[in-house]
Amino acid sequence: MNQKRKNEHIRNIAIIAHVDHGKTTLVDAMLKQSHLFRPGQAVEDRIMDSMDLERERGITIAAKNCSIMLNGVKINIIDTPGHADFGGEVERALSMVDGAILLVDASEGPLPQTRFVLQKTIENGLGVVVVINKIDRKDARPDQVLDEVYDLFIDLGANDDQLDFPCLYAVGRDGLAMKSPADKSTDLSLLFDTILQKMPVPESDPDEPFQMLVSDLGYSDYLGRLAIGRVFNGSAHANDSLVCVNERNESTPLKITSLQTYNGLNLKEADTVNAGEIIVLSGIKDVKIGDTICTAQRPKAMKRLSVGEPTIATEFRINTSPLNGREGTILQSGKLRERLHRETLKNVSIRLEESVDKDTFIVKGRGDFQMVILIEMLRREGFELSVGRPQVIFRHEDGNLLEPIENLFVDCAETFLGIVTEKLSIRKGRLTNLVNNGLGRVRAEFSIPSRSLIGYRGEFLTDTKGTGLLNSLFAGYEPFRGEFPLRFTGSIVADRPGSATSYALFHLEPRGQLFVVPGDPVYEGMIIGEHNKDIELNVNATREKKLTNMRAAGKDDSLVLSPVRPMTLEKAISFIKDDELVEVTPKSIRLRKRELSATKRHQTRAQEFIA
């Protein structure tokens, strides 16, 4: 067996953790303390969160690469998302690294996404450095959290080498790392030393040809499509003639027009790259994530990158409402198809399927929040579209109907446990574990169908008065648990086009919660409110007060309407039923019936009743 060749001048690491445990903040401190920026240079917080949506929502959506230099060693760092719906980004990032820094909150401890990312890390055989972060919190419990991390490693089947992980304590916000919580520190030098000493060194087979696994795609206005990935074996030079091996083991010739490596937050041209380096290639027209780029003389494909199967399917279609074309610039189904297809090339966890209707597309993903982010990206690009309620993807095995099941973790005040348990039991949830720490808060674990969580998160925050924490982790498929009501209320639907008036809305307020304000355009079939009863109510929202020659004895009172809460994408998608759609434009979010005509809806219901 040939001896592996090691590249001592490179380390490839990923920063992994549950959402909001401090990954991006720690990367900020690492970049600053590695002297990447000149003294006095103004640097924004959360440098790696470059997308507007990431900064607005305070989460990482897409994994991103950067690098720093430490004592002549290049450290390639990949900042990964922490939300479960973006787990495909984590799996993609782990394919490029040899080790991972696992961040765990010193108070919250390991949470569902901590388990997911650590499981993938252990399955890939990567080295792990555990960093217990935020030890400056008043409720920090670092010793208990370390025990919980050990239990998690054992539960996930870690080997002896992985169980012997180095553990550091940190305050990522202040850029501090220490060996024990009682130690004093002024910087992250201990973390840097641990990376250099404990993280595995990239290894390659000297007898194998050049092999690069494509783990990400990009685009440049000057260079065209970019292929991003790690070189596992061999070396390459600029202008080399290579081939791209796809999933059908077909080789497509290509010539490298540009060869780049990461230098800090930017890219730098390189003449030669060696095994272990993470590089960016241009000059490739048809390439997908998982393809192998290798030499034409010895084309040899690597094991393709695989991610978990999607569990949610959402219907995307062009906007066919009477108000289409007023606010957006991209309306055609061909443009929508092209944009969704481009998203599948960059996001390995998203699948696109055509439907019978040429103007409708089925997008499959990991969760409803992932769909919300995709829709928000489309509307900001100028698209007008309509989307349906997310549906879980069922399976059929041996004549049995199976559905995706989640492990749901609830952290809330003890006083709210009753209402939370009641509502989850209605949604076919089963309580599997309950821990009361005696401090007024409880942690409960439920086994619940994935479809039950669509629309529940907002309701949970209302029930817990904004103090509850809700996290879920995909657990697999189980037999179908039965139907349950999606909503106990109906819809108030406009029956004619026009502009909503104060007089009409004032008299509709007793019927339910309204979504529109005076002056808003409405059309037949548009949902303008939530009805108190579980029936559809067709109303005239444009009615005006009749003028007569008679005056009231006193001065006419002005109509005062209750304030309307702004409609968000998350709220809209969770509110609609199967026969309803969300109309999304760059400026507005509206709700509507699939069939706009009230007469046709009535006829359809009558036929269904007869049948």
Tens of pLDDT, residues 432-478 = 999 887 778 888 999 999 999 887 888 888 889 888 888 888 888 99
- Claim to verify: residue 195 and residue 211 sit in the same structural domain: no
Distances (CA, A) of 241 to 254, 260, 286, 297, 385: 6, 16, 16, 10, 43
* CA nearest neighbour of 216 among 76, 83, 95: 95
CATH number of the domain bearing residue 136: 3.40.50.300
How high is the pLDDT of residue 609? 75
State both tokens at 384: 């007008």
How high is the pLDDT of residue 554? 44
Residue 529 clears pLDDT 90, i.e. is over it: yes
- Claim to verify: residue 156 and residue 19 sit in the same structural domain: yes
Handedness of CA 524, 529, 534, 537 (dihedral sign): negative
Query: What angle, rounded to 10 degrees, do the helices at 368-380 and 333-346 form?
Result: 120
Tens of pLDDT, residues 206-242 = 888 888 988 888 777 777 778 889 999 888 887 778 8
How high is the pLDDT of residue 385? 94
Q: Is residue 346 part of a domain?
A: no
Q: Is residue 241 part of a domain?
A: yes
* CA nearest neighbour of 203 among 230, 177, 227, 240: 230
Element spanning 215, H or E: strand 211-220
Q: Is residue 328 part of a domain?
A: no
CATH number of the domain bearing residue 212: 2.40.30.10
Q: What residues does 488 pair with on adjacent strands?
A: none
What is the amino acid identity at position 298? R
Q: Is residue 99 part of a domain?
A: yes
Determine how β-strand 430-436 pairs with β-strand 498-499.
Answer: unpaired
CATH number of the domain bearing residue 448: 3.30.70.240
Distances (CA, A) of 238 to 241, 255, 260: 9, 9, 9
**Phi, psi (deg, nearest 5) at residue 281:** -110, 145
Contact 298, 211 (CB under 8 A): no
How high is the pLDDT of residue 248? 83
> What is the arithmetic mean of pLDDT over 109-115?
84
How high is the pLDDT of residue 285? 75
CA 445/CA 434 separation, integer angstroms: 6
Q: Tokens 């709700």 identify what position? A: 591
Q: Residue 525 carries which DSSP code? A: T
SS3 207: coil
How high is the pLDDT of residue 556? 44
Cβ-based neighbour number of residue 55 at 10 Å: 13
- Claim to verify: residue 75 and residue 182 sit in the same structural domain: yes
CA 365/CA 383 separation, integer angstroms: 20
- Claim to verify: residue 522 and residue 595 sit in the same structural domain: yes
Tens of pLDDT, residues 251-306 = 888 877 888 888 888 888 888 888 889 988 887 777 888 888 888 888 888 888 77
Structural domain for 99, as ranges: 5-203
What is the amino acid identity at position 359? D
- What's the alpha-carbon Rg for the chain, to the nearest Å? 27
> What is the arithmetic mean of pLDDT over 326-330?
91
How high is the pLDDT of residue 478? 92
* CA nearest neighbour of 192 among 84, 24, 77: 77
- Claim to verify: residue 195 and residue 231 sit in the same structural domain: no
Residue 3 clears pLDDT 50, i.e. is over it: yes
Helical segments of 307-380, H only:
333-346, 368-380
Averaged pLDDT score across all residues of the chain: 86
What is the amino acid identity at position 523? Y
What is the amino acid identity at position 480? F
- Claim to verify: residue 454 and residue 503 sit in the same structural domain: no
Residue 123 clears pLDDT 60, i.e. is over it: yes
CA 490/CA 609 separation, integer angstroms: 18
CA 567/CA 53 separation, integer angstroms: 17
pLDDT band at residue 157 using 50, 70 and 90 as cut-offs: confident
Q: Is residue 231 part of a domain?
A: yes
State both tokens at 341: 């297809």
Domain endpoint, select from 451, 479, 507? 479
Q: Is residue 550 part of a domain?
A: yes
Cα 277 to chain centroid, rounded: 27
CATH number of the domain bearing residue 526: 2.40.50.250
Polymer length in residues for the chain: 611
- Claim to verify: residue 452 and residue 576 sit in the same structural domain: no
Q: Is residue 347 part of a domain?
A: no
Contact 353, 315 (CB under 8 A): no
Determine how β-strand 99-105 pairs with β-strand 10-17.
Answer: parallel
How high is the pLDDT of residue 553? 47
Cβ partners under 8 Å of residue 550, min gap 6: none
CA 348/CA 512 separation, integer angstroms: 42
CA 525/CA 595 separation, integer angstroms: 7
Distances (CA, A) of 305 to 78, 124, 210, 216, 242: 17, 12, 18, 11, 20
Determine how β-strand 441-449 pairs with β-strand 469-479.
Answer: unpaired
Q: Is residue 551 part of a domain?
A: yes
Residue 1 clears pLDDT 60, i.e. is over it: no
Q: Whole-model pTM?
A: 0.84
Distances (CA, A) of 216 to 28, 67, 113, 430: 22, 16, 22, 39
Give DSSP secondary structure letters for 2-62: PPPEE-TTEEEEEEEESTTSSHHHHHHHHHHHTT-S-TT----SSTT--SHHHHHHTS--S
CA 451/CA 427 separation, integer angstroms: 9
- Claim to verify: residue 140 and residue 182 sit in the same structural domain: yes
Expressed in angstroms, the distance from the first to the final Cα of the chain is: 71
Residue 63 clears pLDDT 90, i.e. is over it: no
- Claim to verify: residue 159 and residue 134 sit in the same structural domain: yes
Domain endpoint, select from 272, 295, 318? 295
- Claim to verify: residue 404 and residue 514 sit in the same structural domain: no
Residue 582 clears pLDDT 60, i.e. is over it: yes
Determine how β-strand 73-79 pairs with β-strand 64-70.
Answer: antiparallel
Q: How many domains are there within the chain?
A: 4
Domain endpoint, select from 243, 269, 295? 295
- Claim to verify: residue 410 and residue 549 sit in the same structural domain: no
- Three-state DSSP string of 430-487: EEEEEEECCCCEEEEEEEEEHHHHCCHHHHHHHHCCCCCEEEEEEEEEEECCCCCCCC
Contact 117, 88 (CB under 8 A): no
- Claim to verify: residue 511 and residue 474 sit in the same structural domain: no
**b/e sequence 556-574, b meaning 16+ C-beta within 10 Å:** eeeeeeeeeeebebbbbbb
Handedness of CA 142, 144, 148, 149 (dihedral sign): positive
